[in-house]
A and B are shown apart, each in its own frame.
Chain A
Protein backbone atom coordinates (compact mmCIF):
# COMPACT_ATOMS: atom_id res chain seq x y z
CA UNK A 1 0.00 0.00 0.00
CA UNK A 2 2.73 2.44 0.99
CA UNK A 3 4.70 1.68 -2.17
CA UNK A 4 1.60 2.18 -4.20
CA UNK A 5 1.01 5.60 -2.74
CA UNK A 6 4.65 6.55 -3.22
CA UNK A 7 4.43 5.66 -6.89
CA UNK A 8 1.27 7.70 -7.15
CA UNK A 9 2.96 10.75 -5.66
CA UNK A 10 5.98 10.30 -7.91
CA UNK A 11 3.75 9.96 -10.94
CA UNK A 12 1.92 13.13 -9.97
CA UNK A 13 5.15 15.08 -9.54
CA UNK A 14 5.19 15.88 -13.25
CA UNK A 15 2.90 18.66 -14.53
CA UNK A 16 2.39 16.99 -17.91
CA UNK A 17 1.21 13.81 -16.22
CA UNK A 18 -1.13 15.78 -13.98
CA UNK A 19 -2.53 17.40 -17.07
CA UNK A 20 -2.96 14.04 -18.78
CA UNK A 21 -4.89 12.77 -15.76
CA UNK A 22 -7.09 15.84 -15.76
CA UNK A 23 -7.99 15.17 -19.37
CA UNK A 24 -8.56 11.47 -18.73
CA UNK A 25 -10.94 12.34 -15.91
CA UNK A 26 -13.26 13.68 -18.59
CA UNK A 27 -13.01 10.72 -20.98
CA UNK A 28 -10.78 7.85 -22.05
CA UNK A 29 -8.35 8.76 -24.81
CA UNK A 30 -5.68 7.08 -26.90
CA UNK A 31 -2.04 8.08 -26.58
CA UNK A 32 -2.33 9.73 -29.99
CA UNK A 33 -5.29 11.81 -28.84
CA UNK A 34 -3.49 12.69 -25.62
CA UNK A 35 -0.37 13.77 -27.50
CA UNK A 36 -2.20 15.98 -29.99
CA UNK A 37 -2.33 19.23 -27.96
CA UNK A 38 1.32 19.00 -26.85
CA UNK A 39 4.48 19.94 -28.67
CA UNK A 40 5.93 16.55 -27.85
CA UNK A 41 6.13 13.24 -29.61
CA UNK A 42 3.68 10.42 -29.18
CA UNK A 43 6.61 8.46 -27.75
CA UNK A 44 7.13 11.04 -25.00
CA UNK A 45 3.47 10.95 -24.05
CA UNK A 46 3.60 7.19 -24.20
CA UNK A 47 6.38 7.24 -21.60
CA UNK A 48 4.30 9.44 -19.32
CA UNK A 49 1.36 7.11 -19.73
CA UNK A 50 3.57 4.18 -18.75
CA UNK A 51 4.58 5.94 -15.53
CA UNK A 52 0.93 6.59 -14.76
CA UNK A 53 0.17 2.99 -15.58
CA UNK A 54 2.92 1.69 -13.25
CA UNK A 55 1.47 3.84 -10.49
CA UNK A 56 -1.91 2.25 -11.13
CA UNK A 57 -3.44 5.59 -11.99
CA UNK A 58 -4.41 4.58 -15.50
CA UNK A 59 -4.93 1.32 -17.33
CA UNK A 60 -4.91 0.20 -20.93
CA UNK A 61 -5.78 -3.06 -22.63
CA UNK A 62 -2.47 -4.08 -24.18
CA UNK A 63 0.23 -1.68 -25.27
CA UNK A 64 -1.11 -0.56 -28.61
CA UNK A 65 -1.31 3.19 -28.98
CA UNK A 66 -4.72 2.72 -30.46
CA UNK A 67 -6.08 1.37 -27.19
CA UNK A 68 -7.75 4.01 -25.07
CA UNK A 69 -6.16 4.95 -21.75
CA UNK A 70 -8.53 4.77 -18.81
CA UNK A 71 -8.29 6.63 -15.51
CA UNK A 72 -8.38 4.32 -12.48
CA UNK A 73 -10.56 6.34 -10.18
CA UNK A 74 -10.13 4.00 -7.19
CA UNK A 75 -6.41 4.70 -6.92
CA UNK A 76 -7.12 8.39 -7.04
CA UNK A 77 -9.69 7.88 -4.31
CA UNK A 78 -7.29 5.90 -2.18
CA UNK A 79 -4.83 8.74 -2.18
CA UNK A 80 -7.34 11.50 -1.63
CA UNK A 81 -8.98 9.46 1.12
CA UNK A 82 -5.72 9.08 3.01
CA UNK A 83 -4.89 12.71 2.67
CA UNK A 84 -8.39 13.78 3.59
CA UNK A 85 -8.36 11.66 6.75
CA UNK A 86 -5.06 13.14 7.72
CA UNK A 87 -6.43 16.59 7.03
CA UNK A 88 -9.49 15.90 9.16
CA UNK A 89 -7.29 14.75 11.99
CA UNK A 90 -5.26 17.93 11.71
CA UNK A 91 -8.40 20.04 11.49
CA UNK A 92 -9.80 18.33 14.57
CA UNK A 93 -6.59 19.10 16.44
CA UNK A 94 -6.68 22.71 15.34
CA UNK A 95 -10.29 23.11 16.40
CA UNK A 96 -9.20 22.09 19.86
CA UNK A 97 -6.45 24.66 19.52
CA UNK A 98 -9.10 27.23 18.52
CA UNK A 99 -10.86 26.50 21.79
CA UNK A 100 -7.63 26.79 23.77
CA UNK A 101 -6.84 30.09 22.07
CA UNK A 102 -10.34 31.40 22.66
CA UNK A 103 -10.02 30.58 26.35
CA UNK A 104 -6.57 32.11 26.40
CA UNK A 105 -7.93 35.63 25.99
CA UNK A 106 -9.18 35.29 29.53
CA UNK A 107 -5.92 33.74 30.66
CA UNK A 108 -3.99 36.60 29.14
CA UNK A 109 -6.04 39.05 31.15
CA UNK A 110 -5.35 37.02 34.24
CA UNK A 111 -1.64 37.07 33.61
CA UNK A 112 -1.80 40.86 33.67
CA UNK A 113 -3.79 41.24 36.87
CA UNK A 114 -5.20 44.64 37.70
CA UNK A 115 -2.97 46.38 40.18
CA UNK A 116 -4.18 45.15 43.56
CA UNK A 117 -7.36 47.18 43.36
CA UNK A 118 -9.66 44.60 44.80
CA UNK A 119 -7.09 42.41 46.58
Chain B
Protein backbone atom coordinates (compact mmCIF):
# COMPACT_ATOMS: atom_id res chain seq x y z
CA UNK B 1 0.00 0.00 0.00
CA UNK B 2 1.31 3.43 -0.86
CA UNK B 3 1.70 5.62 2.21
CA UNK B 4 -0.32 8.79 2.28
CA UNK B 5 1.95 11.68 1.48
CA UNK B 6 1.12 14.37 3.98
CA UNK B 7 3.61 17.00 2.86
CA UNK B 8 3.89 16.69 -0.92
CA UNK B 9 4.85 20.36 -1.01
CA UNK B 10 7.29 21.96 1.38
CA UNK B 11 5.74 22.98 4.65
CA UNK B 12 7.51 25.71 6.54
CA UNK B 13 7.32 26.82 10.12
CA UNK B 14 9.06 29.79 11.69
CA UNK B 15 9.22 29.03 15.39
CA UNK B 16 7.78 31.95 17.35
CA UNK B 17 9.92 31.32 20.41
CA UNK B 18 13.29 30.37 18.88
CA UNK B 19 15.18 31.66 15.82
CA UNK B 20 14.42 28.44 13.98
CA UNK B 21 13.03 27.66 10.56
CA UNK B 22 11.65 24.18 10.05
CA UNK B 23 10.83 22.70 6.68
CA UNK B 24 9.09 19.39 6.10
CA UNK B 25 8.89 17.78 2.69
CA UNK B 26 8.13 14.28 1.40
CA UNK B 27 10.07 12.60 -1.37
CA UNK B 28 9.58 9.59 -3.55
CA UNK B 29 12.94 8.17 -2.61
CA UNK B 30 14.52 6.00 0.03
CA UNK B 31 16.34 7.59 2.98
CA UNK B 32 19.57 6.27 1.43
CA UNK B 33 18.87 8.10 -1.83
CA UNK B 34 18.01 11.31 -0.03
CA UNK B 35 21.16 10.94 2.02
CA UNK B 36 23.20 10.49 -1.14
CA UNK B 37 21.63 13.58 -2.76
CA UNK B 38 22.82 15.56 0.26
CA UNK B 39 26.32 14.11 0.52
CA UNK B 40 27.41 13.42 -3.07
CA UNK B 41 28.85 16.80 -4.18
CA UNK B 42 27.98 16.32 -7.83
CA UNK B 43 24.36 15.50 -7.06
CA UNK B 44 24.10 18.23 -4.41
CA UNK B 45 25.30 20.89 -6.86
CA UNK B 46 22.54 19.89 -9.24
CA UNK B 47 19.70 20.85 -6.95
CA UNK B 48 20.87 23.21 -4.22
CA UNK B 49 20.30 26.23 -6.49
CA UNK B 50 18.72 28.76 -6.77
CA UNK B 51 18.19 27.99 -10.40
CA UNK B 52 19.55 31.32 -11.56
CA UNK B 53 22.90 30.56 -9.92
CA UNK B 54 25.57 28.07 -10.90
CA UNK B 55 26.91 26.06 -8.01
CA UNK B 56 30.61 25.23 -7.86
CA UNK B 57 31.71 22.88 -5.09
CA UNK B 58 35.15 23.85 -3.85
CA UNK B 59 35.53 21.59 -0.85
CA UNK B 60 33.43 18.64 0.15
CA UNK B 61 34.18 16.06 2.79
CA UNK B 62 30.79 14.70 3.79
CA UNK B 63 31.97 12.81 6.84
CA UNK B 64 31.56 13.62 10.52
CA UNK B 65 34.05 16.44 11.14
CA UNK B 66 34.56 17.19 7.44
CA UNK B 67 34.42 20.61 5.77
CA UNK B 68 32.40 21.88 2.88
CA UNK B 69 32.50 25.00 0.77
CA UNK B 70 30.69 25.98 -2.39
CA UNK B 71 30.29 29.09 -4.47
CA UNK B 72 27.10 30.13 -6.20
CA UNK B 73 27.64 32.52 -9.09
CA UNK B 74 25.65 34.50 -11.58
CA UNK B 75 27.22 36.66 -14.27
CA UNK B 76 30.48 37.06 -12.40
CA UNK B 77 28.87 37.77 -9.04
CA UNK B 78 29.82 35.11 -6.52
CA UNK B 79 28.30 34.09 -3.22
CA UNK B 80 30.38 31.72 -1.12
CA UNK B 81 29.09 29.44 1.61
CA UNK B 82 31.02 27.21 3.96
CA UNK B 83 30.68 25.07 7.03
CA UNK B 84 31.44 21.72 8.55
CA UNK B 85 29.65 18.42 8.73
CA UNK B 86 29.16 18.06 12.45
CA UNK B 87 27.65 14.64 12.08
CA UNK B 88 26.83 12.44 9.10
CA UNK B 89 24.66 9.41 9.75
CA UNK B 90 22.39 7.44 7.43
CA UNK B 91 19.24 9.04 8.82
CA UNK B 92 20.65 12.36 10.00
CA UNK B 93 23.03 15.09 8.90
CA UNK B 94 24.03 17.96 11.15
CA UNK B 95 26.09 20.74 9.63
CA UNK B 96 27.04 24.35 10.15
CA UNK B 97 26.32 26.94 7.50
CA UNK B 98 27.90 30.36 7.03
CA UNK B 99 27.45 32.82 4.19
CA UNK B 100 30.80 34.43 3.34
CA UNK B 101 29.01 37.78 3.18
CA UNK B 102 28.07 37.47 6.86
CA UNK B 103 31.10 35.68 8.34
CA UNK B 104 30.09 36.36 11.96
CA UNK B 105 26.88 34.40 11.58
CA UNK B 106 26.48 30.67 11.64
CA UNK B 107 23.42 28.51 11.30
CA UNK B 108 23.14 24.98 12.61
CA UNK B 109 21.27 22.78 10.19
CA UNK B 110 19.80 19.46 11.19
CA UNK B 111 18.43 17.20 8.49
CA UNK B 112 16.52 14.09 9.36
CA UNK B 113 15.38 11.47 6.88
CA UNK B 114 12.28 9.72 8.14
CA UNK B 115 11.57 6.45 6.37
CA UNK B 116 7.87 6.33 5.48
CA UNK B 117 8.28 2.93 3.88
CA UNK B 118 7.53 1.89 0.33
CA UNK B 119 10.20 4.13 -1.13
CA UNK B 120 8.96 7.32 0.48
CA UNK B 121 10.94 9.51 2.84
CA UNK B 122 10.07 12.60 4.83
CA UNK B 123 12.76 15.23 5.12
CA UNK B 124 12.79 17.27 8.32
CA UNK B 125 15.13 20.22 7.87
CA UNK B 126 15.74 22.56 10.76
CA UNK B 127 17.88 25.71 10.66
CA UNK B 128 18.80 27.32 13.94
CA UNK B 129 20.26 30.77 13.37
CA UNK B 130 21.96 33.20 15.75
CA UNK B 131 19.14 35.65 16.22
CA UNK B 132 15.63 36.53 15.22
CA UNK B 133 17.11 39.30 13.07
CA UNK B 134 19.20 36.69 11.28
CA UNK B 135 16.22 34.45 10.80
CA UNK B 136 14.16 37.29 9.45
CA UNK B 137 16.95 38.21 7.04
CA UNK B 138 16.83 34.65 5.76
CA UNK B 139 13.13 34.88 5.26
CA UNK B 140 13.62 38.11 3.35
CA UNK B 141 16.30 36.55 1.17
CA UNK B 142 13.79 33.88 0.27
CA UNK B 143 11.43 36.57 -0.80
CA UNK B 144 13.97 38.31 -2.98
CA UNK B 145 15.00 35.29 -4.98
CA UNK B 146 11.49 33.89 -5.01
CA UNK B 147 10.25 36.96 -6.84
CA UNK B 148 12.71 36.48 -9.66
CA UNK B 149 11.84 32.94 -10.44
CA UNK B 150 8.35 32.17 -11.52
CA UNK B 151 6.32 29.07 -11.22
CA UNK B 152 6.38 28.49 -14.97
CA UNK B 153 10.13 28.13 -15.05
CA UNK B 154 9.90 25.88 -12.08
CA UNK B 155 7.49 23.49 -13.71
CA UNK B 156 9.56 23.53 -16.86
CA UNK B 157 12.65 22.65 -14.90
CA UNK B 158 10.96 19.80 -13.12
CA UNK B 159 9.71 18.41 -16.39
CA UNK B 160 13.14 18.75 -17.98
CA UNK B 161 14.84 17.24 -14.98
CA UNK B 162 12.58 14.24 -14.78
CA UNK B 163 12.75 13.51 -18.48
User: Which residues of A pack against B, CB within 8 Å?
Assistant: 1-3, 5-6, 9-10, 12-13, 81-83, 85-104, 108
Contacts and interface: CB of A to CB of B under 8 A. Distances in A.
A84 B17 CA distance: 19
B74 interface: no
Chain A, interface SS category? helix
Nearest to A95: B158
A36 B146 CA distance: 43
Interface residues of B, number: 46
B22 to A, nearest CB: 11
A9 B16 CA distance: 5
A89 B9 CA distance: 11
Interface stretch (B41-49, B65-73, B89-97, B98-106): B41-49
20 contacts: A2-B133, A2-B137, A3-B133, A6-B136, A10-B132, A82-B140, A83-B139, A85-B147, A86-B12, A86-B21, A86-B146, A87-B12, A89-B146, A90-B10, A94-B10, A96-B158, A97-B27, A100-B47, A101-B37, A104-B36
B145 interface: yes
A101 B48 contact: no
B158 A86 contact: no
Given A87-B10, A104-B37, 18 more contacts: A2-B137, A6-B132, A9-B16, A10-B16, A87-B11, A87-B12, A88-B142, A88-B146, A93-B49, A93-B50, A94-B25, A94-B27, A96-B51, A97-B27, A98-B27, A98-B158, A101-B27, A102-B162
